[in-house]
Amino acid sequence: MIITHDHKVALVTGAGSGIGRAIARRLAGDGAAVACTDVSTEGADETVRLIAEAGGRAIALRCDVRVRAEVEAAVAATVEQLGGLHLVVNNAGVVTMSDLDHLTDDEWDFVVDINLKGQFIVAQVASRAMTDGGAIVNLSTVEASVVVSSSGHCQPHYNASKGGVPMLTKALAVELAAKGIRVNAVAPGPINTRFSGGDITGPEAMAFMSQRLLVPRVGEPDDVANAVSFLLSDQASFISGAHLPVDGGWLTR
Ligand SMILES: NC(=O)c1ccc[n+]([C@@H]2O[C@H](COP(=O)([O-])OP(=O)(O)OC[C@H]3O[C@@H](n4cnc5c(N)ncnc54)[C@H](O)[C@@H]3O)[C@@H](O)[C@H]2O)c1
């Protein structure tokens, strides 16, 4: 199977670190010109530097996915500087480690606005610019389907925000089909990034996770990038509305 994104323009949110950086690098490696957007300009700049070093084409843009004006500016800059927009990855996401008793309204809004409302704003604004059709992938998580209690307690705001992603994905897939845009989601299991703030490769974390993992390791950002690149490609042209686990078998039992 050959995956190519030659002559395609992609926009990735949260491309300044972790999974978003791996996705941006993978899409550029597969031939796309990539707009690397993030609230962290330093992070986005570094991703662009890594892509350029490998011979790819990318630009860095500051964009907070909660702020419509910033999303509109990033999409307009992408079209103007890279010549169009075909592929979008709603990757930006956050978590805070608060249990129900300590969870504040502000924390709820912070996490839900970035993880769920941000995907809506980006999909709405970007799809208007995707005049030749294309594909969108939204980042979900196994925690959209099960409660992992990863820091010894639940994160209700994170579970709720990500629980909305599969249904948002289906609704977008239905509405955007008429424009020739496919929409899918990937649901990573534990991936080795700075996301949760702790070391997920240590013996204590591995003892907890190995009760569920069928593949005996944590995931790497490239594991997710591989699935995203496939779903965005023509090799996945008959797939829309799907929620694909990339989880080492976490959701299997
Ligand atoms: N790491 C995991 O184990 C894991 C598991 C399941 C799902 N995910 C999902 O994968 C995605 C990426 O996570 P990661 O592990 O790479 O985390 P990360 O913290 O390394 O990267 C998140 C990126 O999003 C950016 N960001 C934060 N707020 C933003 C905003 N308002 N607007 C734009 N960008 C913003 C950050 O600056 C950062 O570059 C998230 O949606 C997360 O929920 C991660």
Ordered by where they begin, the domains of the chain are 9-252 (3.40.50.720)
pTM, two decimal places: 0.98
Distance CA 87, CA 66 (A): 20
pLDDT of residue 11: 99
CB 184 within 8 A of CB 236: yes
- One-letter amino acid for residue 17 of the chain: S
Q: pLDDT tens across 228-249, in order?
A: 999 999 999 999 999 999 999 9
The answer to whether residue 151 scores a pLDDT higher than 80 is no
Residue 93 annotated in active site: no
Sign of the alpha-carbon torsion through 80, 9, 180, 176: negative
Report CA dihedral (95, 102, 105, 65) to the nearest 10 degrees.
-10
Of residues 15, 23, 158, 231, which has the active-site annotation? 158
Whether the Cβ atoms of residue 143 and residue 95 lie closer than 8 Å to each other: no
pLDDT at 153: 87
Contact 6/56 with Cβ under 8 angstroms?
no
User: What is the residue type of 154?
Assistant: C
Using CB atoms within 10 A of its CB, is residue 209 exposed (0-12), middle (13-18) or buried (19+)?
buried
34, amino acid identity: V
Backbone angles phi, psi at 178, to 5 degrees: -65, -25
- Reported as a single tens digit per residue, the pLDDT across 158-193 is 999 999 999 999 999 999 999 999 999 999 999 999
Among 45, 50, 110, 195, name the best residue to mutate to test ligand 1's pocket (greatest count of ligand atoms within 8 A of Cβ): 195
Atom 36 (ligand 1) nearest CA? 14
| CB-based contacts of 222, cutoff 8 Å, min separation 6 | 22, 26
- The residues near 100 (Cβ < 8 Å, ≥ 6 apart) are 153, 154, 156
Distance 95 CA to ligand 1 centre (A): 8
Does any ligand 1 atom lie closer than 6 A to the CB of residue 91? Answer: yes
The per-residue pLDDT for 1 is 82
- 64, 71, 94: which to mutate for ligand 1, most atoms within 8 A of CB? 94
